[in-house]
Amino acid sequence: MAQRTVTIASRVGLHARPAMLFTQAVAASGVPVTIARPGDEPVDAGSILYVMGLGVASGEQVVLEADGPDAETVLDELVGLLSTDLDAPEAS
């Protein structure tokens, strides 16, 4: 199982638009991915309700895990997404 830790860059954390963009990317990957705060139980990263329910704020870290042949590549792409301020005007 591949794992990455990333700091959330979006100003509003993983809420609304950033959560939607993230969960859409997870769903499009076709790879099962989980997300959690370090030390907490992971949830399905493809579910916007679970992701928003984590209440992750800007600057907090999350742990992503994925399993499968493309897991490393998918996690690298997701880390890149979460490391970007998805609420910035240039992210549109």
Domain segments of the chain as ranges: 2-91
Q: Which residue has the higher pLDDT, 17 or 88?
A: 17
- Estimate to the nearest angstrom the gap between the alpha carbon of 81 and the chain centroid: 8
**The residue type at 7:** T
Which of these is catalytic: 15, 26, 46, 78?
Answer: 15
Active site residue 15: yes
Gap between the Cα atoms of 86 and 32, Å rounded: 22
Q: Tell me if the domain spanning 2-91 has CATH number 3.40.640.10.
A: no
3-state DSSP call for residue 36? strand
- pTM for the predicted model, two decimal places: 0.93
User: Which pLDDT value is given to residue 91?
Assistant: 57
21-78 confidence digits (pLDDT tens):
999 999 999 999 999 999 999 999 999 999 999 999 999 999 999 999 999 999 999 9
